[in-house]
Structure 1
Amino acid sequence: MKTDNKPWFWIPLLNFASGLPYAVIISVSVIMYKNLGISNEDIGVYTSLLYLPWVIKPLWSPFIELNGTKRKWFLAMQFIISLAFLLVGFSIPLNHFFLLSLAIFWVAAFASASNDVASDGFYLLVLPKEQQSFFLGIRSTFYRMSLLAGNGLIVLFAGYLEHKYGDNTKAWSYTMIAVGLLMAVITAYNFIFTPKSEINTVQTDKEAHDKSFGSVFASFFKKKQIGLVLAFILVFRLGESQLLKMLSPFLLDKKEFGGMALDTESVGIIYGTLGITALTIGGIFGGIAISKHGLTKWMLPMFLAMHLPILGFIALAHFQPEALFHLHINLYFFEINSPLNLYTCITVILEQFGYGFGFTGFMMYLIYVAEGESKTSHYALATGFMALGMMLPGMISGYIQQYLGYQNFFIWVFIATIPGLILSRFLIFPKDFGKKSEEV
C-alpha cells in the first residue's frame, strides 16, 4: 500500500520536524545563552523576538498556498533549517557569537515558520476530516515530544559535553552541529515517506487558489465572534509565555539567586525522560477524549489541566527543596551522574501531562477557527496571533522575574492564566466539534 493511505508513516516525523526547530530556536537557545553567560533580561528580550516569524507568517502564508505544492515547501524549509543549525554551531566559538547566532536563528525561524504553514496545510488537506480529531492528538504529542527532545535529550547531550570538555563554548558548538545533522536526517525521511500526491489539496482548495491575498485575509476577519476569538487566542498563553522563558533559568540558577541550582544534565534528564513520557500519555488521552465526546465537554477540564500545575512551581520557588538522590547512567562512552530533585520531577510530570492533555483542546479550537475556504491561510493567521501572544509577554518576562524574584514571579504567572480561562467560557462552536463520526 502507498504511504498516502498510512498516516502513521508520515504524521509523527512531519510534526517532529516542525517542533524540533521551534524547540531549539525558542527554548534550547535560552539554556545555551544562559550557560554562555548572557543575562536573563537579554535572554527574555532577544529570544522572544525570535517568535516574530511565527507572528507574521500569515503575511506570506497565501504565497505558500498559491505557489507550488506544500510538500515541496516543507522539504525545502527543513533543508534550510538543517544548514542554519550547522552554521550556529560554527559561529559559537567566534567573537560576537551572540549577534551572529541570533541572526542565523532568525533565518532558521523564518524557515521554520514557513515549514509550519506548509505542514499544517498538508495535514488539513490530505488527511480525511473524520480522521483529523484523532490524529490531532498524535500530531500534538509528536510535536511536543520534539519540543521535549530539544529541551531534554539535546540539553542532556550538551550537559554531558560541558562536563566532558569543561568548556561550555565547545560543548554547545558541537551540540548545535549535531542538531543540524539530525535535522538533515529527518528531512530525508520526510522526503521518502510523506505522500507525494496532493490531488486532494487541489480539489479542496481550488476556490482558495482563485482568491487574492487581500480577500483571504479579509475573510478571516469576517468570521463569527472574531473579536472574542482573537482576544482569547492572544491571552490564553499569557502565563505560559512567561513561564517557558524563565523556567530553565529558574532550574539552573543558584540558590542564592532563588533558583534550584540544577546542572544542565539534570534539566535534560527531567524533561527528556519523565517529561516525554507524561506528555505522550497526556496528548494521546486528549486526542481520544475529543474524538469520543467532542470539544465542548473537555475544553474546561483540559485548560485547567494545563494551568493548575503552575502551583507546583510556586511551591518549588518558595521551599527550594534539596536534591534527594543521584542518577548514575553509564552507557559505554556516555556517562551521567546528576543530582535529581524528586519534587521537581513530580512537578514537571504533572505540568507536561497537563500540557499534553490540555493543549490538544486549544489546537482543536484553532482548527475550528480555520474551518471553511482558505483553511491553510486561516490556520496560519490563528497560529500567528497565538505566537504574538507568546512573543510580547516573553520579551518582558526577564525584567518581571528580576523585579519580583522567582517566588512572586510564578504567582504572577498563575494569575496571568485567568483571563484566558474566563474568555474560553464565552466561545461558541458546535457542541460535538472534533467528535469522530460513528459512520464507517
Structure 2
Amino acid sequence: MTTQETGIEKIEKTRSDWSWVPSLYFAEGFAYAIVALLSVIMYKRMGISNADIALYTSWLYLPWVIKPLWAPLVDVLRTKRYWILVMQLLIGGGLAGVGLTIPMPDFFQFTMIFFWILAFLSSTHEVAADGFYLFGLRESRQSYFIGFRSAFFRIAIIVGQGLIVVLAGQLESTLSVSPAEFKVVANPNKFFEETIKVDSVKATELSGMLRVIANPSYVEISTRPKTKEQVGFYKHFAKSFNIMNGFSREMLELPDTTGMQDLVGNVGIVKFVLSKKPSEGSEYFINVEFLEGHEGIKVVEGKELRFTDKNWNKPAFAVIQLDSTIAKKTISGFTARSQKIPLAWMITFFILAGLFVLLFIYHRLVLPEPDDDKPAGNKRSSTPGKEFFRSFARFFEKKKIILIILFLLFYNFGSAQIVKLSIPFMMDSRELGGLGLSTSEIGLINGIVGAAAIMLGGIWGGILVYRKGLKSLMMPMLIALNAPNVVYVYLAWFQPEIIWITYACVAVESFGYGFGLTFLLMYMINVSDGEYRTSHYALASGFMALGMMIPGMLSGIIQEAIGYKFFFIWVLVAAIPGFILAKYIPLEYQFGKKKLTEK
C-alpha cells in the first residue's frame, strides 16, 4: 500500500514539475534573449553602427556580471517565488517602455535606458529562478530536469532571436523596406571627378524581400574644394530630378547666387532604387542619414525620398558634401532606411510585453509554494546582514578560487566576440564585407537553425557528461567550442551566395558552441556546491557574464579596425588562454557522472 501511494505521489509530483519547470526556464531564456540578442538586431535595423552596437549592448551584460552583489538579497528577503512573479511583471512593463520610446528622436538613448533596466530585472529573475529550482524540486528531480531546463532555455533563445525576428521582419516587409548602407570617403589623392549619370535603362526586379539599393555603395570624393556655383549645379540637378519623378514634394526654389565663386566643400552623388515593384498604391518614405564616422560629411540634398509603385525603378539622388576643412582621408557611413521600420519594432515590443504579462499570470497559478522557500535569515538565528556577507566570504574561501575565476572569465573569450558580431556580419552588405542577409533570413538562420543546433549540442553534451563524467570531456568540449569558429573565416573570405551553405556553417558552429558550453554550465554547478548554492551560482555565472561582456565590448572596435576577414581569424587566436587555464582548474574526476546518476 505504501509503495502504491508513493508511486501515485511520484506521478503527481512529476506532473506538477512539468507544469512549471519548462515555462520558468523559457521565461528566463526569453528575457535574456531579448536584452542580449534581439536588441542587437533592432539597433542594426534602426541604423546604429557596429562599433556602437557592440560597445553599448555589451554593457547590458553588466547586470549578469554584478548580480552576485544583490543575489544574497534574493536569499534573505521574501521568497524566491515572490521575486520570480514580481520580476516577470516588471519585465513586461520594461518591454512596453522600449516600444514607447522607439519612435522618439533620441530613441537610442531612451531604449538603452529601458534595456538597462530590463537587464537588471532579467538577471534578478535568473537568480530567483535558479534558487527556486533548488527548493521546488527534490534532489533526484533536480538531476532529472537539468537537461530539460537547459533545453527550454534554448527554445526561448530560438523564439527570442528566431521567431520574434521573423515576426519583426514580416512587419518590416509589410510596413517598410530593408535599408541600404553606403560609405563615403574623403580622399585627397582622388583627381578625376565623376559626372552625374542618369541611367537610360530602368532597374530590373530582384528576388527576395523589398529593399533599398544604393549605387555606388562606396563613394570617393576629392577633398579639393569646388566653387559654390559648381556645387549648386549638382544640388539643383538632384532636387529637380527628385521633384520631377515624385521622390520629393518640395517646391523648386531659385538658387542663392551670392558668392558663386567662393570655394566650398566638394560633393558626391549616390543613387537609390527599390529592388522590386511594391504593391499598387503603396508608398515608402526613405531617410538618408549619417551613421558613423566624421560628422563633417553630410547629406545636403535628398535627405527624404518617396518611393511608390510608379517610380521604384527610377534613380533618386542624394548629394553628399564634405566640410571644406577636411584635408586628409576620412570615412563616414550612411544608411537609407524606411521611416516605418521603427513602427515594426514598436509593435514587436508591445507583443513581447503582452507575452510576459501572460507568463506572470500563468506562473502565479502554477508555481508551487515549497516549505523550504523561505528567507535565509529565517533558517537560523542570524540576521539578513550577516547572511549576506557570509555568503560572499564562503565563495572566496574555495580552493584555487583565483584560477577558477580566471577560467570562468576566459573560457568564452573567443566565442563571446562571435556572439556579439555574427548578426551584424550577416546583415552588412557584401561591399562592406558582410553577407547582405535580410531580417527574416537572419531570424531563420541565426535564430532557428543556429539556436536549434545549440540546443542539440547542449543535450548531447549533457548525455556524455552523464555517461563519462565532466573532467574527461574538458578538452573535447573546449575544442568543440572554438574550432568550429573557422566557418566564419570561410564565410568572411568567400561570401557564398548559396544560402544553404550559410545554414550549414551556422549549424556547425552553433552545435559546437552548445556542446562546449555544457562544460562551463556544469563546472559552475560544481563550483557552487555547498551551503549558499543560490548566491554562489550567481557569483560563478557573474564571472562568466563578465567574460562575455568585456570581449563583446572590444569586438566592434577590433572588427572596424581590421575588417571581418581578419577579425574572425583573431577570434580563433583569442581561444588560447582558455586552453591553458583548463589544465590547472580543480575538478573531481567523477563529477557530473556521479551527480546525475543519483537516485
Per the normalisation by structure 2, the TM-score is: 0.68
Q: Which of 525, 543, 552 lines up with 1:385 in the alignment?
A: 543
Over 3 Å counting, the alpha-carbon distance change for 1:202 and 1:124 in structure 2 is same
Residue aligning to 1:334:
none
Over 3 Å counting, the alpha-carbon distance change for 1:45 and 1:276 in structure 2 is closer
User: 2-side partners of 1:96 and 1:18: how far apart?
Assistant: 29
Q: Which amino acid aligns with 1:314?
A: V
Structure 2 residue 460 is matched with structure 1 residue 285: yes
User: 1-side partners of 2:393 and 2:350: how far apart?
Assistant: 42
Structure 2 residue 199 is matched with structure 1 residue 189: no
Over 3 Å counting, the alpha-carbon distance change for 1:195 and 1:300 in structure 2 is farther
Residue aligning to 2:506:
348
Q: Which of 556, 574, 578 lines up with 1:420 in the alignment?
A: 578
Q: Which of 79, 83, 95 lines up with 1:85 in the alignment?
A: 95
Give the Å deviation of 1:191: 2.3
Give the Å deviation of 1:293: 2.2
Give the Å deviation of 1:63: 0.8
Give the Å deviation of 1:439: 6.0
Q: Which of 366, 370, 380 lines up with 2:528 in the alignment?
A: 370
Give the Å deviation of 1:438: 5.1
User: 1-side partners of 2:118 and 2:424: how far apart?
Assistant: 23
User: 2-side partners of 1:432 and 1:7: how far apart?
Assistant: 28
Give the Å deviation of 1:298: 2.1
Over 3 Å counting, the alpha-carbon distance change for 1:122 and 1:4 in structure 2 is farther
Q: Which of 245, 262, 271 lines up with 2:446 in the alignment?
A: 271
Residue aligning to 1:74:
84
Q: Deviations over 1:72-123 (max 9, x none)?
A: 1011101100111111111101121111111111111111110011011111
Mean alpha-carbon deviation: is it higher for 198-207 or for 250-259? 198-207
Give the Å deviation of 1:288: 2.0
| Pairing 1:7-86 to 2, within 5 Å after superposition | 7-86=17-96
Q: Which of 88, 93, 105 lines up with 1:95 in the alignment?
A: 105
Residue aligning to 1:408:
566
Q: Deviations over 1:22-58 (max 9, x none)?
A: 1111111111011101111111111111111111111
Question: Is the contact made by 2:76 and 2:388 (CA closer than 8 Å) also made in structure 1?
Answer: no
Mean alpha-carbon deviation: is it higher for 162-171 or for 280-289? 280-289
Question: Is the contact made by 2:77 and 2:375 (CA closer than 8 Å) also made in structure 1?
Answer: no
Mean alpha-carbon deviation: is it higher for 120-129 or for 28-37? 120-129
User: 2-side partners of 1:68 and 1:218: how far apart?
Assistant: 22
User: 2-side partners of 1:187 and 1:259: how far apart?
Assistant: 40
Over 3 Å counting, the alpha-carbon distance change for 1:201 and 1:343 in structure 2 is farther
Specify the SS of the correspondent of 1:199.
Answer: coil
Q: Percent identity?
A: 45
Over 3 Å counting, the alpha-carbon distance change for 1:249 and 1:430 in structure 2 is same
User: 2-side partners of 1:397 and 1:439: how far apart?
Assistant: 42
Give the Å deviation of 1:188: 2.3
Residue aligning to 2:345:
172
Question: Is the contact made by 1:65 and 1:377 (CA closer than 8 Å) also made in structure 2?
Answer: yes
Question: Is the contact made by 1:138 and 1:287 (CA closer than 8 Å) also made in structure 2?
Answer: no
Question: For structure 2, which runs of at least 5 residues remain unmatched after alignment?
Answer: 1-10, 177-339
Q: Deviations over 1:255-280 (max 9, x none)?
A: 01100000000000113332343233
Structure 2 residue 147 is matched with structure 1 residue 137: yes
Over 3 Å counting, the alpha-carbon distance change for 1:203 and 1:118 in structure 2 is closer
User: 2-side partners of 1:267 and 1:28: how far apart?
Assistant: 11
Over 3 Å counting, the alpha-carbon distance change for 1:438 and 1:74 in structure 2 is closer
Residue aligning to 1:359:
517
User: 2-side partners of 1:125 and 1:119: how far apart?
Assistant: 10
Question: Is the contact made by 1:66 and 1:209 (CA closer than 8 Å) also made in structure 2?
Answer: no
Number of corresponding residues: 423
Mean alpha-carbon deviation: is it higher for 43-52 or for 267-276? 267-276
Q: Which of 156, 161, 164 lines up with 2:171 in the alignment?
A: 161
Give the Å deviation of 1:132: 3.4
Question: Is the contact made by 1:133 and 1:291 (CA closer than 8 Å) also made in structure 2?
Answer: no
Residue aligning to 2:496:
321
Question: Is the contact made by 1:321 and 1:343 (CA closer than 8 Å) also made in structure 2?
Answer: yes
Question: Is the contact made by 1:89 and 1:176 (CA closer than 8 Å) also made in structure 2?
Answer: yes
Over 3 Å counting, the alpha-carbon distance change for 1:206 and 1:304 in structure 2 is farther
Residue aligning to 1:330:
none
Q: Which amino acid aligns with 1:313?
A: Y
Question: Is the contact made by 1:134 and 1:291 (CA closer than 8 Å) also made in structure 2?
Answer: no
Specify the SS of the correspondent of 2:414.
Answer: helix
User: 2-side partners of 1:433 and 1:204: how far apart?
Assistant: 31
Structure 2 residue 376 is matched with structure 1 residue 225: no
User: 2-side partners of 1:421 and 1:188: how far apart?
Assistant: 45
User: 2-side partners of 1:386 and 1:277: how far apart?
Assistant: 22
Mean alpha-carbon deviation: is it higher for 196-205 or for 24-33? 196-205
Give the Å deviation of 1:354: 1.9
Question: Is the contact made by 2:466 and 2:597 (CA closer than 8 Å) also made in structure 1?
Answer: no
Structure 2 residue 434 is matched with structure 1 residue 434: no
User: 2-side partners of 1:359 and 1:21: how far apart?
Assistant: 19
Question: Is the contact made by 2:76 and 2:375 (CA closer than 8 Å) also made in structure 1?
Answer: no
Higher strand share: 2
User: 2-side partners of 1:351 and 1:192: how far apart?
Assistant: 39
Q: Deviations over 1:337-370 (max 9, x none)?
A: xxxx111101111122222222222111001111
Residue aligning to 2:478:
303
Mean alpha-carbon deviation: is it higher for 139-148 or for 108-117? 139-148
Specify which structure has the bigger relative contact order, considering alpha-carbon pairs within 8 angstroms and separated by 6 or more residues: 1
Over 3 Å counting, the alpha-carbon distance change for 1:208 and 1:366 in structure 2 is farther
User: 2-side partners of 1:273 and 1:204: how far apart?
Assistant: 44
Give the Å deviation of 1:400: 0.5
Mean alpha-carbon deviation: is it higher for 73-82 or for 10-19? 10-19
Q: Deviations over 1:58-78 (max 9, x none)?
A: 111111100111011011101
Give the Å deviation of 1:209: 6.6
**Larger radius of gyration between Structure 1 and Structure 2:** 2
Question: Is the contact made by 1:69 and 1:198 (CA closer than 8 Å) also made in structure 2?
Answer: no
Per the normalisation by structure 1, the TM-score is: 0.91
Q: Which amino acid aligns with 1:416?
A: A
Give the Å deviation of 1:201: 6.4
Mean alpha-carbon deviation: is it higher for 285-294 or for 77-86? 285-294
Question: Is the contact made by 2:25 and 2:153 (CA closer than 8 Å) also made in structure 1?
Answer: yes
Over 3 Å counting, the alpha-carbon distance change for 1:59 and 1:4 in structure 2 is farther
Specify the SS of the correspondent of 2:463.
Answer: helix
CA RMSD for the aligned pairs? 2.1
Over 3 Å counting, the alpha-carbon distance change for 1:228 and 1:17 in structure 2 is same
Give the Å deviation of 1:204: 12
Q: Which amino acid aligns with 2:71?
A: S
Residue aligning to 1:398:
556
User: 1-side partners of 2:31 and 2:45: how far apart?
Assistant: 20
| Pairing 1:326-341 to 2, within 5 Å after superposition | 341=499
Specify the SS of the correspondent of 1:238.
Answer: coil
